[in-house]
Structure 1
Amino acid sequence: MINLKKGEGINLSKAHPNTTRFIADLTWDPSPVATQRVEMEIVCFLLTQQDDGSRKCAADEDFVFYNNLKDPTGSVTHNPDDWQHGDDTLRLDLAKLSQRNPDITEISVIAEIYEGIDRRQDFGHVNHATVKVIDADSKTDIAQFRLTEEDAQFTAVQLGSFVQEGGEWHFKAVGKGYLKGLEAFVIAYGLQVGTPE
């Protein structure tokens, strides 16, 4: 398994040419500094390339989270636990997605502290927050990216992205966080803010 740092990535199509189904698995441990239960989840945004070079969601349904457990093609599904046992997953069938919605060029994967702003909780209240990319068929760990102390102040962090470039899929570790929580990502990806948390 490859340990990724911010800015690093892996070409999944070349490193694992026979694998098109993956799991993005978020794990964490409660921190001793947390005085109340911390709930976390993994969510994602399916993005299309815009004329200005940016990438945004084409529709609300391209935001996959606990109130929308799969995208319109059924290629990306959210498989939540009960948010407190330190394991939350996304399942991705990239071949199916490329066939049914070839306009999707990026799947941005986010970890969120549920109601982090209201509860005054951030990533400093959890330890070892890590996303693993796993072969969904063989259950083999392919790569992992762990957040660092630099991310402690945030309530939502972009863990990484599955990115399609030249017909090949990559996973790139990002580690970009916002103090405004998931709402900031909703806005950045072109959606209207409702009640995402």
Structure 2
Amino acid sequence: MSINLKKGEKINLTKGTGIKKVIVGLGWDTNKYDGGFDFDLDASVFLLDANGKATSDSDFIFYNNLKHPSGAVIHTGDNKTGEGEGDDEQILIDFEKIPSNIEKISIAVTIHDAETRKQNFGQVSNAFVRVINQDTNEEYLRYDLSEDFSIETVLVICEIYKHNNEWKFNAVGSGFSGGLETLVKNYGLDA
């Protein structure tokens, strides 16, 4: 049975659960929009140290860098349309392969070329993240984003962080403007 979380809630992923590898599924629908452009939402993952920063470009996993060198985090690929049911993009995480210097994994979704296309998350609905135990294929938790993001072009959906050598999930749901470049700089990398 899946656990439903609300914004700000946290849950332990690994303590007593037997979970060693997860699939983080992200999904969304775009509202009918008369701007003449299709939406292209992209999931991004940042592997962060104790200071909340990525230490190298390889700690930034996205559509042009699908796999962390450690094999701990793999992005399964860019879904350019978001059409259909279920997950639009997926991130695979193997907790046993995460480098020891990584304390947090931040997962965000951005709208490609949002400023030029005059798009924002106010035009996106039914956004969710879910965590599936990769070994059993059972959904462990789900977080449905219900907030109204009227100007934001970036959403930090969730964070998976280490606490006392256990991995926990934090339903963040925090939006801001500025696109992928702002997000990359926020995590200490050059855009």
**Fold agreement, TM-score > 0.5:** yes
Unaligned runs of 5+ in 1: none
Runs of 4+ aligned structure 1 residues displaced above 3 Å come to 33-36
The verdict on how the C-alpha distance between 1:150 and 1:126 changes in structure 2, with shifts beyond 3 A counting, is: closer
Is 1:79 matched with 2:80?
Answer: no
**Map 1:93-108 → 2, pairs under 5 A:** 93-97=94-98, 101-108=99-106
Native 8 Å contact 1:26 1:41 kept in 2: no
> 2-side partners of 1:152 and 1:140: how far apart?
33
> 1-side partners of 2:4 and 2:150: how far apart?
20
- Name which of structure 1's ranges 122-131 and 103-112 shifts more when overlaid on structure 2: 122-131
Native 8 Å contact 2:41 2:82 kept in 1: no
> 2-side partners of 1:8 and 1:34: how far apart?
36
TM-superposed deviation, 1:143: 1.1
Is 1:91 matched with 2:128?
Answer: no
In the other structure, the counterpart of 2:24 is: 24
Output the amino acid matched with 2:72.
S
Deviations 1:1-49 (A, max 9, x none): 1111111011011252x11101111111121245432111211100001
**Map 1:101-180 → 2, pairs under 5 A:** 101-180=99-178
Unaligned runs of 5+ in 2: none
TM-superposed deviation, 1:177: 1.3
Output the amino acid matched with 2:157.
L
Q: Secondary structure at the match of 1:149?
A: coil
In the other structure, the counterpart of 2:6 is: 5
- Give me the identity figure in percent: 36
TM-superposed deviation, 1:85: 2.8
The verdict on how the C-alpha distance between 1:156 and 1:85 changes in structure 2, with shifts beyond 3 A counting, is: same
Is 1:58 matched with 2:55?
Answer: yes
TM-superposed deviation, 1:185: 1.5
> 2-side partners of 1:44 and 1:24: how far apart?
11
Output the amino acid matched with 1:141.
E
TM-score, structure 2 normalization: 0.91
CA RMSD of aligned residues (A): 1.5
Native 8 Å contact 1:41 1:80 kept in 2: no
In the other structure, the counterpart of 1:14 is: 15
Native 8 Å contact 2:23 2:93 kept in 1: yes
TM-score, structure 1 normalization: 0.88
- Name which of structure 1's ranges 141-150 and 85-94 shifts more when overlaid on structure 2: 141-150
- Name which of structure 1's ranges 146-155 and 107-116 shifts more when overlaid on structure 2: 146-155
Deviations 1:69-96 (A, max 9, x none): 1112011011124321351111000112
